């Protein structure tokens, strides 16, 4: 996925790459836990292509996922790191990356 300016997103999870566990579960990023909420499907049940193209989880990773990022105007980060969002909130969407430099307090 390349943005209209020809710049690759800083996070490629679900856009440029994915991860397949040794037991066949497909996740957008290898650093996501083996929580069912982080698993898009299993290559033991569906093809990787079908999961990549049709999984709601992968579709969600291709959107910014929260109103703060959508209003930011600089989508090159692709919404930041969803692993950090998940670690901080227990959810993959709805909040920006807690390490976003634009949200960090000035100081």
Nearer to ligand SF4, 80 or 106 (CB): 80
Q: What is the residue-wise DSSP string for 69-96? A: HHHHS-GGGTTS-HHHHHHHHSSSSSS-
Q: Which of residues 35-94 bind ligand SF4 (CB under 6 A)?
A: 81-83
Size of the site for ligand SF4 (CB under 6 A): 8
Out of 18, 26, 29, 95, the residue judged to bind ligand SF4 by CB under 6 A: 29
Rounded least distance, CB 18 to ligand SF4, Å: 10
CA separation for the pair 43, 95 (Å, rounded): 29
Q: Does 26 bind ligand SF4 (CB under 6 A)?
A: no
CA separation for the pair 25, 37 (Å, rounded): 12
Q: Does 98 bind ligand SF4 (CB under 6 A)?
A: no
Q: Does 31 bind ligand SF4 (CB under 6 A)?
A: yes
Contacts of 103 (CB under 8 A, 6+ apart): 68, 96
Rounded least distance, CB 81 to ligand SF4, Å: 3
CA separation for the pair 73, 6 (Å, rounded): 16
Q: Which residues bind ligand SF4 (CB under 6 A)?
A: 11-13, 29, 31, 81-83
């Amino acid at each position: 996925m390349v943005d209209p300016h020809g710049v690759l997103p800083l996070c490629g999870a679900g856009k440029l790459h994915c991860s397949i566990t040794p037991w066949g579960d497909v996740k957008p990023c290898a650093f996501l836990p083996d929580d069912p909420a982080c698993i898009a499907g299993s290559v033991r049940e569906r093809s990787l292509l079908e999961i990549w193209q049709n999984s709601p989880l992968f579709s969600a990773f291709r959107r910014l996922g929260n109103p703060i990022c959508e209003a930011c105007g600089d989508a090159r980060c692709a919404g930041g790191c969803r692993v950090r969002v998940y670690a901080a909130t227990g959810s993959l969407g709805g909040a920006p990356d807690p390490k976003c430099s634009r949200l960090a307090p000035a100081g």
